[in-house]
Structures are given as structure tokens and as C-alpha cells.
């Protein structure tokens, strides 16, 4: 088995005392390392200094993390308002190009929360903000509690699309998920399959139509204590297996070219 193929995780950015920092949540790192059994590597949000093709030659999978920040609305043809804030332009500049490059390569791609929203935007979909204000909508926002097991605990069921990728991974027609988002998919991109919906119709999971490898996104947070959640274990193992297959094929291609 290829030992520890590399999975890239793009960073967020934030300012502290007028200095810019690049950051990555530990729960994503642990889920990739402990459950997918791959080697997580942070990709700093410096797209302007990167040759993405050369960068991706070193990876066999990409995981797009969640973030409190939102995709800048002009990226999906909308007008920015205070309800769309906060933004992370450094992240947008990297992730919206990176997702496109990963899909074009057929490299395994796992998109979580903001990453799920970025996938929809890259493929031509749109987002809506403050979804809880809509008629008949649940409140999908993060609960204001100190206990992280409650904050990232199950909040609502999702109905899983029969015969889809998620049903294939989990082997069931519904499950419970956590919920920590103010935005959601408004118009789903034409190249995405809807894999699950919340009771109020909000899209909770998608997969890329005709993808050459694992290409899946979840609006919830399967990375939270992933090793203790049977659904998360199945998702991250499927992602890890796809990454190892990509790594093995890359090594074989390199050997074939050398012979
Ligand atoms: N900002 C978007 C996406 C929400 C999201 O990714 N939340 C994650 C919070 C921090 C973490 O657990 O990584 C929205 O509000 O819809």
C-alpha cells in the first residue's frame, strides 16, 4: 500500500495585530490523517505565487475545509451586502482555481461546508445567504454553545438520494448531521448530482457528475471527531481509498514512462 499519500488542504487567512496569518483547523487534519490514513499538508493561500499544475503533481487528493468566511458574491454573479460578510479573498483566489484544476485532473476531491459551496460556485451554481430567513426554512446556523460536542452534534436529518454516491458509501436512506452554516446552495450547478437534502429542501450533499474519481461535497461537518462517527468513517475511508488509488496510478504511470 502506498504509505501516506499526500492530501492538500488549502488554508484560510486572518489578520491579527495587522499581520496576515494562514490557518487550518485541526479536526480536518486529524480526519485526513487518522481516518483517511493519508498525510495532510496545508496549502497556503498564495495563489498569485503558485503554479497550481506543478503543485498538484505532489498530491493525490485535496480536501476543501469549512470556514466562517463566505465566498465573495461576485464570484457567482451576486452583489455583496453586509449579510454576505465576512470574506476571505486570499482563500477565494486559491480555492476557486484549485477546485477547477483538481476536477480537470480527476484527482480525488472532498469538499466540506464552505468547500461544498465553493465546489458549487466553481461549477456554475449560486449561493444564498442567511438561509434561516427563508419561508419554512430551518435554522442551519451554528449553536451558540461552549460544548463542541453539542456545537458539532447532530441537529437535523437528511434524506439521501436513492442510488447515489452517498447512499453507496453509507448504505442507508437517511442519517443525522450537524449544521453550522448561514449560506447554502441556491442554484445547484448543472454538473452536480444532489446527494441529500434537509427537511426544508436545503441541499446537504452533492457529487460531481461523471467524475473520474471521488468528487463529493457535504454541507455539514463529517470531519468533527470523524473516527467516532460511523458515517464519517465510511466517507473518509472512501476518500482515502480513492487517494491511494490515485497515488498508485501516478507511480505506475511514472514507471511506465521511465521504461
Ligand atoms: N461560511 C459558510 C460556511 C460555513 C462553514 O464552513 N462553517 C465552518 C465553521 C468553522 C469550521 O468548523 O471549520 C456559511 O456560513 O454558510
Q: Which domain holds residue 98?
A: 6-258
223 is catalytic: yes
Residue 112 lies in a domain: yes
> What is the ipTM score, two decimals?
0.98
Find the CATH number of the domain harbouring 128.
3.40.50.880
113 is catalytic: yes
- Work out how many domains the chain is built from and give that number: 1
**Cis amide prior to 62 (ω within 30 degrees):** no
When the pLDDT of each residue in the chain is averaged and rounded to a whole number, the result is 97
What is the model's pTM? Answer: 0.97
Residue 123 lies in a domain: yes
Residue nearest to atom 10 of ligand 1 (CA): 67
**What is the mean pLDDT of the segment spanning 113-142?**
98
Residue 150 lies in a domain: yes
Residue 1 lies in a domain: no
111 is catalytic: no
Residue 182 lies in a domain: yes
Burial state string for 136-175 with b = 16 or more CB within 10 A and e = fewer than 16: ebbebebeeeeeeeebbbebbebebbeebbbbebbeeeeb
pLDDT for residue 4: 84
Catalytic residue among 72, 84, 111, 113: 113
Residues 3-58 have pLDDT tens digits of 589 999 999 999 999 999 999 999 999 999 999 999 999 999 999 999 999 999 99
Residues 219-256 have pLDDT tens digits of 999 999 999 999 999 999 999 999 999 999 999 998 99
Residue nearest to atom 12 of ligand 1 (CA): 66
Residue 197 lies in a domain: yes
* Residue 119 grid cell: 465546489
Residue 107 lies in a domain: yes
Residue 173 lies in a domain: yes
Amino acid at each position: 500500500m502506498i504509505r501516506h499519500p499526500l492530501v492538500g488542504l488549502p488554508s484560510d487567512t486572518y489578520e491579527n495585530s495587522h499581520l496576515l496569518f494562514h490557518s487550518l483547523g485541526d479536526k480536518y487534519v486529524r480526519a485526513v490523517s487518522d481516518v483517511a490514513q493519508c498525510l495532510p499538508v496545508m496549502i497556503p493561500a498564495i495563489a498569485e505565487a503558485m503554479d497550481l499544475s506543478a503543485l498538484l503533481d505532489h498530491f493525490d487528493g485535496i480536501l476543501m475545509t469549512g470556514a466562517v468566511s463566505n465566498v465573495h458574491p461576485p464570484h457567482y454573479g451576486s452583489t455583496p451586502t453586509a449579510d454576505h460578510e465576512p470574506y476571505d479573498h486570499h482563500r477565494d483566489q486559491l480555492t476557486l482555481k484549485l477546485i477547477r484544476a483538481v476536477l480537470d485532473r480527476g484527482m480525488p476531491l472532498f469538499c466540506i461546508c464552505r468547500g461544498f459551496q465553493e465546489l458549487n460556485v466553481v461549477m456554475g451554481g449560486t449561493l444564498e445567504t442567511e438561509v434561516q430567513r427563508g419561508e419554512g426554512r430551518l435554522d442551519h446556523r451554528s449553536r451558540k454553545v461552549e460544548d463542541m460536542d453539542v456545537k458539532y452534534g447532530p441537529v437535523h436529518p437528511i434524506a439521501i438520494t436513492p442510488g447515489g454516491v452517498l447512499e453507496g458509501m453509507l448504505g442507508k436512506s437517511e442519517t443525522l448531521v450537524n449544521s453550522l452554516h448561514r449560506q447554502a446552495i441556491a442554484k445547484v450547478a448543472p454538473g452536480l448530482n444532489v446527494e441529500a437534502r434537509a427537511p426544508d429542501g436545503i441541499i446537504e450533499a452533492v457529487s460531481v457528475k461523471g467524475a473520474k474519481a471521488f468528487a463529493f461535497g457535504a454541507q455539514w461537518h463529517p470531519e468533527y471527531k470523524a473516527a467516532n462517527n460511523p458515517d464519517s468513517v465510511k466517507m473518509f475511508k472512501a476518500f482515502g481509498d480513492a487517494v491511494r488509488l490515485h497515488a498508485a496510478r501516478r507511480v505506475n504511470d511514472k514507471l511506465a514512462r521511465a521504461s
